[in-house]
Amino acid sequence: MRLLRVGRAVVPMNKLLLATLLKARQHAESDFVIEWNGKPVKSVRKAMHAAVAAAGISRATPHDLRHTAAVHMAKAGVPMEEISQYLGHSSVEVTRKIYARFSPEYLQKAASALEYGD
């Protein structure tokens, strides 16, 4: 029996992230993108948990970062189809169900229908 690995979406990197990674690279102690004391971080979740605790934040997970990114995209008017592809959702309906309410156009047509003449 062959195990299938869940794929990840391949998405473009924005200029801010590229600049941040290049700056981080200048201070890197190893070839790893995510490192601690020159060694690779084995668990991003555990590393984030430690960083969140050290920052005095009550709770934050990698999924919270993903959700926040999707909300920002929706608020910027990015089409649900693009957000869905960016997140790697199996269906745009999954994306629409969760993030449509953050879109500036959400329910606008319904609100406009309630405008009555001059």
Please indicate, yes or no, if residue 44 is contained in any of the structural domains.
Answer: no
Please indicate, yes or no, if residue 112 is contained in any of the structural domains.
Answer: yes
Torsion sign, CA atoms 76, 79, 82, 87 = positive
Reading the chain (118 residues) residue by residue, the pLDDT tens digits are: 555 555 666 788 899 999 999 999 999 999 988 888 889 989 988 989 999 999 999 999 989 999 999 999 999 999 999 999 999 898 999 999 999 999 999 999 899 999 987 6
Please indicate, yes or no, if residue 10 is contained in any of the structural domains.
Answer: no
Supply the pLDDT for residue 69.
Answer: 95
Please indicate, yes or no, if residue 42 is contained in any of the structural domains.
Answer: no
Please indicate, yes or no, if residue 11 is contained in any of the structural domains.
Answer: no
Supply the pLDDT for residue 37.
Answer: 86
74: containing domain: 61-118
Phi, psi of 78 (to 5 degrees): -65, 130
Domains identified in the chain, total number: 1
Separation CA 52–CA 28 (nearest Å): 21
Please indicate, yes or no, if residue 45 is contained in any of the structural domains.
Answer: no
| DSSP per position, 61-95 | -HHHHHHHHHHHHHHTT--HHHHHHHHT-S-HHHH
